[in-house]
Each structure stands twice: as structure tokens, then as C-alpha cells.
Structure 1
Amino acid sequence: MRKKTDIVLPMDAYIESPKQAHINDSAVARLAADCMAGLGYEWPYEESPIDSSQAMNGGRYGVIDTSTARKWGYHPPESPDDSESGNAGDEAKQSSAEIEAYTGRSAKTGKTLKGGTGGCAGRARSQIFGKDGLKPTLQYLLSYHENSFVVAGRDAEVRRAMSDWSTCMKGFGHDYKDMWEVNNDPQWQSAKPTAEEKRIAEEDVTCKQRSEVLSTLLHIETSLQKSYIADHGKQFTEILKYKNSVDRRSRQVLS
């Protein structure tokens, strides 16, 4: 395993990907802008391009590729748009009436307006995600996508591989019990990655590859998630049906 896109898990098929989230959010924004136009307001809407570089499980196992380690260390890579985020202040300030029409809340108190339906934004979300969204019981099942990572960490195979990783790091002169200790080391809390941080991150990646801890983690997590899906087959079929219906509605809005 040498790049973020190599981390593919069974439950990915049931969860909104970064690309799907962008499409869904864009559809909601367009519907809300159309709703505002229908009320006589001009609400800003601009569909941004989809960033296909975002991996579904990109940060799940920390830094896993040498190029990222060499450039960013343990700091999150900056997106190309980060330096342009200061343009928001150039937009014209929306009036109280527009804010209330969009949000369905008082511009002064933030409280829901009498007889409110969530404003144009709320109605738009209901059109895409449904009035009640995904059932809470089904949302709870999806939390196992994160929990399987914790459970996998207790597996004997993973612990052995993690011990091999730690031994490898000792060979570079570092005393870390596991890859999360180095990933979360307080000394990396600088504004920019330091030369030492980048060097250690590269050594971390080398040890991950030598110990095969990443492929072991992925193997165990895959097995856990497959079993979990099989144990809740009916519910996951319902989740997938809901997810596909949301995706279909979003694409119809944007077509």
C-alpha cells in the first residue's frame, strides 16, 4: 500500500464519498438559489469544480506515501484553494430579509420563524435528502466504518505488525510505541512542517512498508466490515437504496 486511494473498504459503498458530497451539496445550493429567485432575491450560487484527488479514506492510516511525507511531514496538505479563502469579504452583505428567507430563522435572534420550514436552504435539503433523512438507526450502523478501525487495532496480527513498525523506527533512532504516537507528536504543532518532521515522516512511511502494518490493518478491517454487513444485510440494503436515491435526485438537479 503506497497511496491513499489504495485504502478501499467494503462499507465505502454505503457512505457518501467526497465526490458525492460535493455533488449533493451543489444540488442543494442550486435548489436554494432557485427558491430565493422565486421570492425575488438574488442569492449567490456558483458550482465549484469537483476535486477528484480526495480519497475516501485518505487520512485513515496517517501518512502513507513518501512524496506527501517529504513535502508536508505530518501537517495536512494544503488545497490549492486555501490561499484564496480570503475573498469571502468581497461579497455583498445579505439583507436581514434575505437571510431569513434563506435560513428560515430570525436574522436578529437566530430562532426559527413562526411557521418556518427551514427557509429555502431547509426546503432544498429536504428535496435532496428527504424530509427526515436517513433513519437514525441506519446512521448508527454506518458508524462502524470508524469503529472497525479501533477493533482492528486490537487484533493480534495488527499488534505484531505494529511491533515490527516500532522496531523499525528504533533503527532510525526513534522510540514510538505505535504509528499514532509519532503522527500525534506535539512537536509537530508548528505553523509549517520542519525539516526534522519531514525526515521522520519519511522514515515512518518506510517502516510502514517494511512492517506491512498498513496492509495488515486493511486486511483485518475488510474482514470485520464484510462480516458486519452480512450480519445486517437488510439494513445495509436499505442504506444503499437511500444513498442511490439521493445521488439520483442530485444529478437530476444538476443535469
Structure 2
Amino acid sequence: MSPSRARATTALALLLLATTACTAAEHESTPAPHSPPAFRQAEQLRLPLDAYASTMAETHVMEDAEDILMRRCMAGLGMEWQPLPRVDARDDEPPNFRRYGAEEAEVGRYGYHPRPDPPSVVRRNRAWDEREALPVEVQRAAYGPSGKGGCRRTAQRQLVGDTAQPDYQAFNRLTGKALEASRRAPEVRDAVREWRTCMTKAGFDYPDPLAAASNARWQTEEPTPAERATARADMTCQQSTKVVKVWSAAETRIQRRLIGENAGPLREAKARKDRWLAASRRVLDRGDG
């Protein structure tokens, strides 16, 4: 069986931390009358631990280079291998998108729902699905009987020799720890308290932005009018209280401390990732001729 498609390592699953907060009932009688201007802070947000994981764009680079080498290996076995369609650089989601709740630019349209995948991402996901349906003999040649061999393993050895694949265990542990610690920082609590007051005046009752974004009521196929109204008020209040600016500053301080305390494992993880990335870029620079 082919390996699962890669996902962003700056896990959007961090939003699940919000489910530990109780979500209070909102009052929909006074929705925000207008959608605020496009909210771009999340797209520009960078945190110190980002250096120790791969962005989605970097993950694509490594996958694309591996594909080129796999195609050559499969051709040697008399089999065709279709590389994944490339993703447009503009379509890669920022690494910390939605880290502090809903940070969508188009909340008036999508509420807390994610924006639809852009065409280049749709094409790549479809290609991954098609790989899952490849004939057994092709999958065995590509991935070996265990899913960890075949031409994929050959391609990886050509890329980096015996260097193990990037390991994000330390990053995942520390980025979750930093987010939880930053929620308890006094300045973040003050900013969230101001946000909650702003939301209450608009007719909504939530303890913090993560709770608003993770309300189970929003688990619908399409965003509802109530969801859009809540998200618009949320964005207005986040902007007026500067929640993201305050929260990210607190988390930046905490992440720097954690990096100092875990320098060894993080340095080793980054060196491994950087070696894979550099080797992959060399393959892409040469192309598949």
C-alpha cells in the first residue's frame, strides 16, 4: 500500500486544543453588520520553531524530487510512474494559519470553514487518490511489500544515502507545549478578556477565539448565517483587541526558551531536514532529463 500523502507539519490539529474550553451559547440577534477588512496577520505569522519543521511548500519539494527519481526507477522495471502535479506557490497555506483561532480573510463568505482548496491543490490530492488505486504489481514495485521499500526507497537512497527521513517529533511536542503555555501568559489572558468583552457586546459568548472557532455547531457541510455572523464579530474583536499580536509575541518568547532547553534534538532534526531539502532542490534544479 502506498504511503499516506504528506500533511503540513505545523499541525492544524493544534486547533483541537480549543476543545478543552467550554463553548457557551451565542446570541445571534445582533450579528456584526459588516465584514471587516481582509485579515492578513495569520498569513504573515512566523514563530521560532518554524525553522525546525517543513512548510507545505518544502514538503512538496521533497515529494517532487522523490517522484523524479522514482519515475526513473520504475521505467527501469518497465513501468510508468506519473509524478504528482505541482502545486502553485501561491496556493500553499501559511505555516501558522488558524493557530489562534479563525484567521480567515474571507470570514463573511466561509465563516470558520476552510476556504475551498485551490485548483493546483485539488489536482495533487486527486493524484494521490489515484495512486491508492494503482494495480497491486505497480504498488509493490513502487513501495515494496512492506510499503517502505521498492523504488521509493531506492529514490530516497539516491537523494540522501542512509540519512533517515525528517523527524518532527520534537517540533510537534514543543509547538503544542508553547501554544498551551502562551494561553496562560498574563498579557494573553488580558487580551482575550478584552476580546470576550467585545464579543459579548456584539451578542456572542465565548471564552476565547479558539472556542469560537471550534464550536461543534459549525460542523456543517456549508457555513451557516449564524457561523458567518459569529466569525465576522470574532474578526472585528480580534483586530480591535490585537489578540494575535499579543498572543504571538508571548508565544515567540516561550518558543525561544524551549528551543534553548531542547537545542540538541532540534539541531539534529533541522540538520536532517535541511539535508533532505537541499538534495531535493538539486534534483529539481537538474530536472528529469
| Fold match (TM-score > 0.5) | yes
Cα 1:209–1:179, aligned 2, differ >3 Å: closer, same or farther? same
CA distance in 1 between partners of 2:231 and 2:172 (Å)? 31
Contact 2:74 2:80 in 1 (8 A): yes
In the TM superposition, residue 129 of structure 1 has moved relative to its aligned partner by 6.0
What runs of 5+ residues in structure 1 fail to find an aligned partner? 106-111
What residue number does 2:48 align with? 10
The one of 229, 232, 239 equivalent to 1:202 is 232
In the TM superposition, residue 61 of structure 1 has moved relative to its aligned partner by 1.6
What residue number does 1:41 align with? 79
In the TM superposition, residue 176 of structure 1 has moved relative to its aligned partner by 1.0
What runs of 5+ residues in structure 2 fail to find an aligned partner? 1-38
Q: Which amino acid aligns with 1:213?
A: V
What residue number does 2:100 align with? 61
Task: Please report the RMSD computed on the Cα atoms of aligned residues, expressed in angstroms.
Answer: 2.7
Q: Which amino acid aligns with 1:18?
A: M
The one of 71, 88, 96 equivalent to 2:109 is 71
Cα 1:167–1:94, aligned 2, differ >3 Å: closer, same or farther? closer
What residue number does 2:140 align with? 100
In the TM superposition, residue 86 of structure 1 has moved relative to its aligned partner by 6.4
The one of 167, 178, 200 equivalent to 2:208 is 178
CA distance in 1 between partners of 2:157 and 2:268 (Å)? 18
What residue number does 1:216 align with? 246
CA distance in 1 between partners of 2:234 and 2:140 (Å)? 51
Moved more, 122-131 or 157-166: 122-131
Cα 1:61–1:34, aligned 2, differ >3 Å: closer, same or farther? same
Please give the TM-score of this superposition, normalised by the length of structure 1: 0.83
What residue number does 2:154 align with? 123
Cα 1:23–1:87, aligned 2, differ >3 Å: closer, same or farther? closer
Q: Which amino acid aligns with 2:199?
A: M
Q: Which amino acid aligns with 1:121?
A: R
Cα 1:45–1:86, aligned 2, differ >3 Å: closer, same or farther? closer
Equivalent residues in 2 for 1:185-196, closer than 5 Å? 185-196=215-226
**Number of matched pairs:** 243
2:177 matched to 1:147? yes
Give CA-to-partner distance per residue, 1:175-211, whole Å, 9 cap, x none: 1111122111122122111222112101101111122
What residue number does 1:159 align with? 189
CA distance in 1 between partners of 2:51 and 2:130 (Å)? 40
Contact 1:27 1:254 in 2 (8 A): yes
In the TM superposition, residue 141 of structure 1 has moved relative to its aligned partner by 4.9
Percent identity between matched residues is 29
Cα 1:126–1:69, aligned 2, differ >3 Å: closer, same or farther? farther
2:260 matched to 1:230? yes
Contact 1:64 1:208 in 2 (8 A): no
DSSP-derived class of the 2:222 partner:
coil
DSSP-derived class of the 1:222 partner:
helix
Please give the TM-score of this superposition, normalised by the length of structure 2: 0.74
CA distance in 2 between partners of 1:135 and 1:191 (Å)? 35
CA distance in 1 between partners of 2:69 and 2:218 (Å)? 42
